[in-house]
Amino acid sequence: MTPLIVITLVLLWQFVLLGYTFTLAGNAADEAVRAGTAASPGARQGACEQAGTDKLPGAWEGGASVDCGTSGGFVTATVTLDVPVLFPGSVAFPFTVTGHAGAVEEETD
């Protein structure tokens, strides 16, 4: 019975890590698009990347990918994170979690 309990706990912990990674990706995309809308068009990608990785824990920051774009007055951000296996900062699964966000581009006068 003990091995079954241990396996169940390990699986539950892995699902917690997966859910937390989804939460981090969504929040990072929100932060990135917020910074991207406030930045000038020339500095948008840099500001977006900086804000997208700024608040990520170190274990997720290394494998993070932030991409921002503009289309028709709309700024979008996509953040891709690796999902850790059991211990953040160690081995990652071969799939990633993606967070998307978008906002209307601010006009500067």
Residue-wise pLDDT tens digits, 49-107: 888 888 888 887 778 889 888 888 888 999 999 888 887 777 777 788 999 999 887 76
Question: What is the pLDDT at residue 25?
Answer: 93
Question: What is the pLDDT at residue 108?
Answer: 59
**Is residue 22 over pLDDT 90?**
yes
CA 41 to chain centre: 22
**Is residue 109 over pLDDT 60?**
no
Q: DSSP secondary-structure letter at 41? A: G
CB 60 within 8 A of CB 24: yes
Question: What is the pLDDT at residue 19?
Answer: 92
Of 15, 10, 1, 21, the residue nearest 81 (C-alpha): 21
Residue type, 28: A
**Is residue 17 over pLDDT 70?**
yes
Question: What is the pLDDT at residue 8?
Answer: 95
Domain ranges in the chain are: 2-104
**Is residue 35 over pLDDT 90?**
no
